[in-house]
Amino acid sequence: MAKLSSINKNNRRRALSTKHYKARKELRAKSLDQRLSDDERQAAFLKLQKMPRDGSPIRVVNRCEITGRPRGNLKKFGLSRIKFRELALMGKIPGVTKASW
C-alpha cells in the first residue's frame, strides 16, 4: 500500500492539472506560434513558467484506485496488475474472463 501522503499529493496534482488545463494549453500554443512576434511569444512563455508546476499533466501519476501502487497499472480499469488479477479471478470485474483456447 502506498503512503497516504503520496496518494493525496497525486490527487492534488490531478485537480490542479484539470483546473489549469485550458490556460496552460493556450499559453503553450502562443509560445510556440511562429506567426506571433518574439515579445508576445516570450510573454506567453513567462506566464507559463509562473504557473504552478503541479498544474502540468505530466506530473500526474496513474495510481491503482485500491492500493495506490504507481507501477504496473491498467489505465482502462484504474487498477494495478495485481489487484486486477485478483478481482478478475473472483469475477468482480464485469466482462473480464480468463482466456482459454
Pairing of strands 79-80, 73-74: antiparallel
Dihedral class, residue 78 (left if φ above 0, else alpha if ψ from -120 to 50, else beta)? left
Q: What is the pLDDT of residue 53?
A: 94
What is the residue range of 75's domain? 63-94
Which runs of E-coded beta strand occur in the chain?
A: 73-74, 79-80
Q: What is the pLDDT of residue 1?
A: 86
> At a CB cut-off of 8 Å and minimum separation 6, what does 90 contact?
none
Q: Is the pLDDT of residue 64 over 90?
A: yes
Q: What is the pLDDT of residue 2?
A: 86
Rounded to two decimals, the pTM is: 0.80
Are 4 and 42 members of one domain? yes
Predicted confidence (pLDDT) per residue in 39-54, tens digit? 999 999 999 999 999 9
Are 30 and 57 members of one domain? yes
Q: Is the pLDDT of residue 19 over 90?
A: yes
Are 50 and 2 members of one domain? yes
